[in-house]
């Protein structure tokens, strides 16, 4: 199999198959780290790194991995890359590492990575798999940043820690508490799904015409 | 750090620090499997069981093997292997001795391996530097809190089937809003006990 064109991979990862609002996977961390945009960005970059390189590695060894232990192999490969991210954060951004707490380690159990490795990297050549990892990771990061934008703006009146709303602004504390995360995510899913159902109707009409 | 009574941690991890509603862990299976009260309860029990035992196992492995050898950074890989191996073992034992339970649980047992709540509890235990007794209270409470939340959600979802929901919000959208409302209700518990 030749693999898909990079453009198609990115459209799928960012919109059509977006892991968060299309497939509703990997949302644990999507909710936990989105009270600040900086946290979300770091988390997103970590996930892109881990997904891309795990998919690359798994794709390279896909022909020599015995079928019945492939899950175990996948988990081990993913853990190795997560450990790299964790050590890197501890060494260069110790405060960020503390703020993210256990959620960096929980990248291992983020279903997006497992899902993409199983669904894509197992069947496709290394380069497409690598791109697919970047694309799904980017789709995830984009949603994370959207949620974080709303939560940080309404909850603290800041964007990336910079005050944008003046003194007249009263912080919505609920936005930085857990319920706020659920509500914002639900609204994001609602908007995205409404747009996509309109897309589908247009496609149907186009076929009819 | 203030020494906390294991029982306080137990209560707190059920109500004020609920795994799902305040730490967002174990969401995937929480949303996917919560359509029926009975299966939710089965999954909740399985999660509580695996959670408690893997946390205890990981406690001993971390403090008796990894810390003396200065290999703390390997904890992610070691914890996930412990969890996977334990789930595999339980699966084999249940299949051999309790076949009825085995078929009732079906796909849930292997799914538990990738339930982030389980790895999450082990990681929290290390970060918060709990003692053995505190860890037991914490893991038992977290499992029970998770079970209460999933059973409650399953109950609400059965009623939701009859409601008319805007089109884009159907399915996961409305479920997440309901979880948000549940989280809001659980915020009411905060102030009873607090752990960090």
Q: Residue B2 has what pLDDT?
A: 57
Q: Using the predicted structure, report yes or no on whether residue B1 has a pLDDT greater than 70.
A: no
Q: Cβ of B36: how many Cβ atoms within 10 Å?
A: 13
- Give the distance from residue B101's alpha carbon to the nearest chain A alpha carbon, in angstroms: 24
* Mean predicted lDDT score pLDDT of chain B: 84
Maximum mean pLDDT: which of A121-130, B52-61, B88-97: B52-61
For residue A111, what pLDDT band results from cuts at 50, 70 and 90? confident
For residue B27, what pLDDT band results from cuts at 50, 70 and 90? confident
User: Helices (H), strands (E): how many in chain B?
Assistant: 9, 0
Q: Residue A1 has what pLDDT?
A: 40
Q: Which residues of B touch A79 (CB under 8 A)?
A: 76-77, 80
Q: Which residues of A touch B179 (CB under 8 A)?
A: 182
Q: Residue B54 has what pLDDT?
A: 92
A170-186: pLDDT as tens digits: 888 888 888 888 888 88
Q: Using the predicted structure, report yes or no on whether residue B55 has a pLDDT greater than 90.
A: yes
Contact B25 A28 (CB under 8 A): yes
- Best B173, B186, B191 member to test A by mutation, with max A CBs in 10 Å, is B173
Residue B151: both structure tokens together: 């059973």
Q: What is the mean pLDDT of residues B103-108?
A: 69
Contact B180 A179 (CB under 8 A): yes
Ranking A10-14, A128-132, A197-201, B21-25 by mean pLDDT, the lowest is: A197-201
Residue B194 DSSP one-character state? -
Q: Residue B60 has what pLDDT?
A: 92
Q: What share of chain B is helix, strand, coil (3-state, %, to 5)?
A: 75, 0, 25
Count Cβ atoms within 10 A of the Cβ of residue B10 and give its class: 0-12 exposed, 13-18 middle, 19 or more buried. Answer: buried
Q: Residue A162 has what pLDDT?
A: 81
Measured CB to CB, residues of chain A less than 8 Å from chain B are 24-29, 31-32, 72, 75-76, 79-80, 82-83, 86-87, 101-102, 105-106, 108-111, 114, 174, 177-183, 185-186, 189-194, 197
β-bridge partners, A162: A159
In chain B, the residue whose alpha carbon lies closest to the alpha carbon of A25 is B28
Residue A98: both structure tokens together: 């503390």
Angle at A46 between CA A45 and CA A50, to 5 degrees: 115
- CA dist B22 and B93 (Å) reads 34
Q: Using the predicted structure, report yes or no on whether residue A59 has a pLDDT greater than 60.
A: yes
Q: What DSSP element (H or E) covers A158?
A: strand A158-159
Question: Among B96, B16, B92, B20, which Cα is nearest to B51's?
Answer: B20
Please report, in angstroms and rounded to a whole number, the separation of the first and last CA atoms in chain A: 35
Q: Using the predicted structure, report yes or no on whether residue A159 has a pLDDT greater than 70.
A: yes
- CA dist A22 and A106 (Å) reads 21
CA torsion A40-B135-B109-A185 (nearest 10°) is: -20
Q: Residue A207 has what pLDDT?
A: 62
Ranking A8-12, A16-20, B16-20 by mean pLDDT, the lowest is: A16-20
Maximum mean pLDDT: which of A67-71, A102-106, A160-164, B175-179: B175-179
Maximum mean pLDDT: which of A192-196, B125-129, B191-195: B125-129
Ranking A142-151, B36-45, B58-67, B146-155 by mean pLDDT, the lowest is: B36-45
For residue A2, what pLDDT band results from cuts at 50, 70 and 90? very low
B133-192: pLDDT as tens digits: 999 999 999 999 999 998 999 899 888 888 888 877 777 888 888 888 998 888 888 777
HSE-up (13 A, CA, CB side) for residue A167: 0
Q: Are A35 and A97 in contact (CB under 8 A)?
A: no
For residue A8, what pLDDT band results from cuts at 50, 70 and 90? confident
Question: Among B117, B161, B103, B92, which Cα is nearest to B29's?
Answer: B117
For residue B107, what pLDDT band results from cuts at 50, 70 and 90? low
pTM of the model: 0.83
Q: What is the mean pLDDT of residues B71-89?
A: 86
């Amino acid at each position: 199999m030749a693999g898909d064109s990079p453009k198609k991979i990115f459209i799928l990862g960012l919109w059509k198959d977006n892991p968060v609002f299309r497939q509703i996977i990997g949302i644990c961390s999507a909710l936990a780290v989105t009270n600040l945009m900086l946290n979300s960005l770091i988390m997103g970059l970590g996930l892109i790194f881990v997904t891309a390189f795990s998919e690359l590695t798994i794709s390279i060894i896909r022909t020599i991995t015995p079928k019945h232990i492939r899950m175990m192999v996948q988990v081990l490969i993913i853990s190795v890359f997560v450990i790299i991210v964790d050590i890197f954060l501890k060494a260069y951004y110790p405060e960020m590492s503390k703020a993210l707490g256990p959620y960096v380690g929980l990248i291992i159990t983020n279903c997006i990575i497992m899902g993409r490795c199983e669904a894509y990297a197992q069947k496709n050549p290394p380069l497409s798999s690598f791109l697919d990892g970047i694309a799904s990771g980017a789709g995830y990061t984009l949603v994370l940043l959207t949620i974080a934008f709303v939560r940080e703006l309404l909850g603290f009146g800041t964007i990336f820690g910079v005050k944008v709303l003046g003194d007249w602004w009263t912080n919505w504390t609920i936005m930085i508490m857990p319920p706020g995360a659920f509500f914002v995510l639900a609204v994001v899913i609602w908007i995205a799904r409404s747009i996509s159902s309109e897309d589908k109707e247009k496609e149907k009409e186009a076929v009819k015409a | 750090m203030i020494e906390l009574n294991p029982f306080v941690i137990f209560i707190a991890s059920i109500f004020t620090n609920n795994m799902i509603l305040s730490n967002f862990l174990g969401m995937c299976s929480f949303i996917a499997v919560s359509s029926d009260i009975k299966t939710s309860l089965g999954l909740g029990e399985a999660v509580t069981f695996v959670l408690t035992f893997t946390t205890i196992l990981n406690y001993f492995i971390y403090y008796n093997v990894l810390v003396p050898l200065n290999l703390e950074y390997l904890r992610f890989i070691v914890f996930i292997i412990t969890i996977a191996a334990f789930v595999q073992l339980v699966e084999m034992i249940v299949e051999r001795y309790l076949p009825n339970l085995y078929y009732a649980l079906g796909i849930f047992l292997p799914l538990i391996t990738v339930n982030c709540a389980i790895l999450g509890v082990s990681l929290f235990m290390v970060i918060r530097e709990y003692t053995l007794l505190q860890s037991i209270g914490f893991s038992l409470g977290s499992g029970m809190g998770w079970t209460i939340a999933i059973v409650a959600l399953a109950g609400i979802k059965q009623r939701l089937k009859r409601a008319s929901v805007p089109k884009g919000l159907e399915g996961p959208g409305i479920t997440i809003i309901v979880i948000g409302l549940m989280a809001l209700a659980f915020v009411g518990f905060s102030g009873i006990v607090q752990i960090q």
